[in-house]
Amino acid sequence: MATRQSIEDYIHRCQQAIEFAQDQYNHTARQEHYNAEGYTEALQVLENAYNEMAVLAMSANSQQRERLNRMRLQLQQVQNDLILQRY
């Protein structure tokens, strides 16, 4: 079973990944294609967070899975925004 602290740590890392990705998104919106490296790194950070979630969810209880699911939706939204470059 996942501990409360491991879930909290993971949620915090996801929030940091989302903030980083949003910063890269905003930077890319201003610079267009000149920020390819940071943009790619942001997508990779989001993908790593998403993959880590799959492992963590296997040992989570139902309440923890609900929190993880909400975070998954946030991660996917930011990923979609980056991929579609909605600016």
CB atoms within 10 A of CB 52: 14
Question: Which domain range does residue 37 map to?
Answer: 4-84
What per-residue confidence (pLDDT) applies to 87? 45
Tally of domains in the chain: 1
Mean pLDDT score, 68-84: 92
What per-residue confidence (pLDDT) applies to 46? 92
Mean pLDDT score, 2-27: 90
What per-residue confidence (pLDDT) applies to 32? 64
pLDDT-derived band of residue 1, with 50, 70 and 90 as boundaries? low
What per-residue confidence (pLDDT) applies to 28? 75
29-64 pLDDT, tens digit per residue, is: 777 666 678 788 889 999 999 999 988 988 899 999
Contacts of 27 (CB under 8 A, 6+ apart): 35, 38
What per-residue confidence (pLDDT) applies to 72? 93
Is-contact 42 24, C-beta < 8 A?
Answer: yes
